[in-house]
Chain A
Amino acid sequence: MEQALLDKRARAPLLPTLVGAGVPSLTGWGEVVSAFSSAVNIRHSGGLLVSLVGDPRAMTYLSVCVPALFRNPKKRLVPGDRIRFDGHRMVTEDFVLDFPGRPTWQGTLSLKDVRGLEVSKVSLLKEALLLKGRAGGFLGLLRGNGTNNPFVDKAIQVLRGVQKAPSQAARLEALSGLVGLGPGSTPSGDDFITGVLLGEEALKLLLTTEAKAVADSREPMIPWSMEKEGLRVATDRTNDSGKTLLWQALQGHFPQYLIETVRSISDAEGKQEITEAVERAVSRGATSGTDALTGFLFSMEGGL
């Protein structure tokens, strides 16, 4: 099979419309682990998941958007299919995805995504999330204790430890207790931490500008000297999905839907727009969007 993927026979080229900037750095082999109607997940030999997606709104640093794949029933990928990565492209039994010259997608937060964030908007975000957020994950954290959900109870325990920790390093260490925690094919804790990292990124950007209203009130929890080693190590304690998400977030790359949400909140002129942005975000996965925004709030408010 591997030989077949290495031989030079003609394969149909499929043009990606977007290539996540992390993908071209991968070489070696991958195997399809799941295939859905608009996403295919490939486990790269390095342990990270690379996704082929049909919708640009599903983009991440490790995704390739190739709508043509999902419009063609003949080119189905199924779990078990092998894929070769060689830096410039991905090769399957039936087709090739070439990267050079295709638009690249970074997924980093920039100033224009956050400059409108202020305390009042953060409150509106919380309200909207309480209203529209999906239960089953960590939404319970926003509601306080007595949740009757063992995962949420555990998370509350962990977060209390985070808030009590005497130093930044200790806070970080404590937060890693959430890695791999919770239900979902990407454990809720991983989505939550991603949201926290997103919030820290936003605060960092805001502190470099005049709009310090939010950042002023507190010190960032995650040290900006990039001392995230504790968290990085912890990523081995979760599954591929969570590890992939955290690996990207620790380097400052976030999924498209989260960047879009932050941008919408920042640009919003009223409650309605924030509510709509939250509605869009919470429709991601089962509770991923809800959990990530909960984490974002935790960071922006310096605790829940």
Chain B
Amino acid sequence: MNVRKINELFSKELKVINMGLDSFADNLRREEVEVLQMDWKPPAGGDKHLIALLDKLDR
């Protein structure tokens, strides 16, 4: 079981991308964690069919 990257994370500073609730990013900033808040929107306007297509292209 390879967990090397997890242990690496433990010895580094957290650098977080927050996708969703703003308050989670606010709280991290109070703790002096570098965090980037995303302005997340459902992809393809929420159209599930389109999303499935996009995913296929991704893979």
Contact = CB atoms under 8 A, between A and B. Distances in A.
In the complex, A touching B (Cβ < 8 A): yes
Interface string B6-27: 0000000000000000110110
B29 interface: yes
B29 A71 contact: yes
A68 B29 contact: yes
A73 B38 CA distance: 12
Interface residues of B, number: 7
Interface residues of A, number: 9
Contacts, number: 15
B59 interface: no
A72 B29 contact: yes
Nearest to B27: A12
A207 interface: no
A14 B29 CA distance: 10
Contacts of A71: 29
A74 interface: yes
Nearest to B39: A73
B49 interface: no
B30 A15 contact: yes
Interface string A10-54: 001011000000000000000000000000000000000000000
Contacts of B30: 14-15, 68
A74 B29 contact: no
A78 to B, nearest CB: 18
Interface of B: 22-23, 25-26, 29-30, 37
